[in-house]
Amino acid sequence: MKACVPLILAMLCGLAWAGEMGSCASRCNEKFNRDADSQCDHLCLWPWDCCEDYEYQCAAEEDANDPEPFLELEEEMEEAPASNLYSAPNSCRGRCHESFDKHHPCHCNARCPEFGNCCKDFQSQCAHESFSRSSDAITKEELQAISEKIYRADTNKAQKQDIILNSQNSIAPSETGDQVEHCPEPLFTYVNEKLFSKPTYAAFINLLNNYQRATGHGEHFSAQQLAEQDTFLREVMKTAVMKELYSFLHHQNRYSSEQEFINDLKNMWFGLYSRSNDEGDSSGFEHVFSGEVKKGKVTGFHNWIRFYMQEKEGLVDYYSYIYDGPWESYPDVLAMQFNWDGYYKEVGSAFIGSSPEFEFALYSLCFIARPGKTCQLSLGGHPLAIQTYSWDKSTYGNGKKYIATAYVVSSTR
């Protein structure tokens, strides 16, 4: 019933807004209009410059059309689900919770009953899932509330005096492919490395040298490296950040116990799959936090600690930035261009000054709540959006998907 009230209000308000420049009526997916006070294209998800009735007027249409994200298109092209991934695309077998794919003749996600495009066996295959129906979905308001709680709980984040950034020169989005170095100095002028002695930081850093960055080379973990994964999970679960996340997901009936949650985190983040020809050459953790190189391009690499350490070793050359977030303290967000030991990253977004558990929590939250979609959060009163993609070519457990990528979405306007 609670979901009906905002919808009714939005419908009533929509009638009043229609025909005005502040309304999205008949304006969904229009091109950016500099003369308009507010926008109605999917880019307005950040920095929250949509018309007030954007969600009512356009959200359902955009879900049905599955709009392309506007950051890191090279990742989407490599990781988006292909049309032939399922041998039986007319069935929901092994497909419950999957993100919308316009190539599929029928669907198995939480909203397919609403759009009337579920596969015939949706009920028999997915009825046992506790959140298969759209009425059980986590709302945007709930996501914004829990993200604010996680933001406040991040006591291990950097303080203002712990990091001195030298962002230097910004460039226009159209210039990101030029591979021109606009910033002669490093991005990080100073980092208080005492941060790195905190248990979650130390456990996180221990994981970064466990991977080969080139796809096509299988990862083979030693007993010690596997133990380091468990140590990281154990340490982050001690924090208030992850306790807030688990409490929220438990309340949402996503996990019945903390151990079930930890086991799922280990699979979705550290489970190996193949991005190239070698079995088990990649994982969500490697891609997002450590970074990879595929077809001569940097993919993933969305972590400030990794960036700082590689820059300190002379392996990262900071080129420029196209977006600097509105936060006056840490964590902040920066979308930047850089060269990683001979390979270029055209647009890479990253939190700056956040604790490892903070990033891990928000990316996990969005992957669980909005897999393959834009996930709208709120941090310190400022909007933030995270995009995730699932790896659909292999699964674990009962058809669950690995994390392919997760990153902060920043508008390229």
- The residues assigned a catalytic role are 287, 302, 345
Residue 313: how many CA atoms within 13 Å on its side-chain side? 8
Cis omega (within 30 of 0) for bond into 199: no
User: Which amino acid, one-letter code, is at 186?
Assistant: P
Distance CA 384, CA 333 (A): 9
Comparing CA positions, the residue from 280, 272, 206 lying closest to residue 236 is 206
Strands (DSSP E) along 213-326, which ranges?
Answer: 292-294, 297-299, 316-324
The conformational region for residue 19 under phi > 0 = left, psi -120 to 50 = alpha, else beta, is left
Lookup: tokens for 17: 């807004």
Distance CA 336, CA 349 (A): 6
What would you measure as the largest C-alpha separation in the chain, in angstroms? 64
Which residues are registered as beta bridge partners of 227?
Answer: none
Question: What's the gap between Cα 18 and its chain centre?
Answer: 33
Owner of token pair 């990683």: 340
Q: Is 225 helix (H, G, I), strand (E, B) or coil?
A: helix
Comparing CA positions, the residue from 369, 362, 358 lying closest to residue 407 is 362
User: Distance between the two ends of the chain, CA-based, in angstroms?
Assistant: 38
